[in-house]
Structure 1
Amino acid sequence: MKKLIFISLMVCSFAASAQTAIEKNGTIYKKHPYITIVESLERMMAKMDTIGMVKYYADTAYAFGTGAPETKGIASIKAGWRYIANEWEIVSITPNGYPDALEYTNDPFTVQSWWVVKVVNKKTKKQATFFEVIFHSFNKDGKISSEMSFHDSTPLLEAMK
């Protein structure tokens, strides 16, 4: 009986310790040079300074997000910027909260940031405001290797009508 109680206590002890185990997957920074890059990039985007923006991207970078096809390579990304410039006037891009730089243990270094974007459709003259979250991943050379952006497209679709 003592053995049975001892084994039961050991099993409960192992089960309890397994549930409280903590494993880090990296470090989160609230100040980091990559955050500064992302903030600069968004200021340039607001002015459609594509010449300034391109210097932050790797030639092999890819981008995708809500309602847009995946683009591969800097030439495709620049074409996406040209489309935005032709269709929309950017009124403002302002931070919503603060960005986090995520240094993952086994994944690319990533900056996640949140923005409020106000644009005007050049054809209809209607304004759209939407919230956006963007994930920029960086390669070993400090260049953006991928960009994922997500937002509710409803305000944009309404402004296009």
Structure 2
Amino acid sequence: MDLDYFKLIDRVVELNLDEKRITVEAQVPAAHTIFEGHFPGFPIMPGVLLTESMAQSSGWLLLGLLKFERMPFLAIVKEAKMRGFVSPGSLLTIEAKLEHEGSGFAVTKAKGRVGKELKCSAEITFGLAPFPDPSMRVHMDAMANKIGFPLQAITHD
């Protein structure tokens, strides 16, 4: 995780386009200024950042399913549940699955775990739009490469 730049996904573990599912990993930093205030003496990952981690994981899934032809943007978060504390230094594994795709939107369900312990879950709705600028697509391709997104899985036949 690079909290300063809001890059919360470190690595794609698996992308299964047939099952419409992705698994990613995010290494929570062992130390960061965010933990100084959340909470002094008992540092934990803020729930809003856990929710954003699930949204980013879902976004990468949608980018793969859409073959990077449209960009997902966060529209609605439902049923977000924080089920346990995520401590600094934890390895967070997030799985997201497409539940529904409609005209101009998609709904995913995501879960975050540390080891086998469920820590968070949410249903997330995204709007789907063209990339606003070609440079944004270039940036997303570079980020995909950095996190090990299997671009070969989405190449056109």
TM > 0.5: no
Q: Which has the higher contact order (CA 8 A, sep 6+)?
A: 2
What TM-score does the superposition give when structure 2 sets the normalisation length? 0.28
Larger Rg: 1
Greater fraction helix = 1
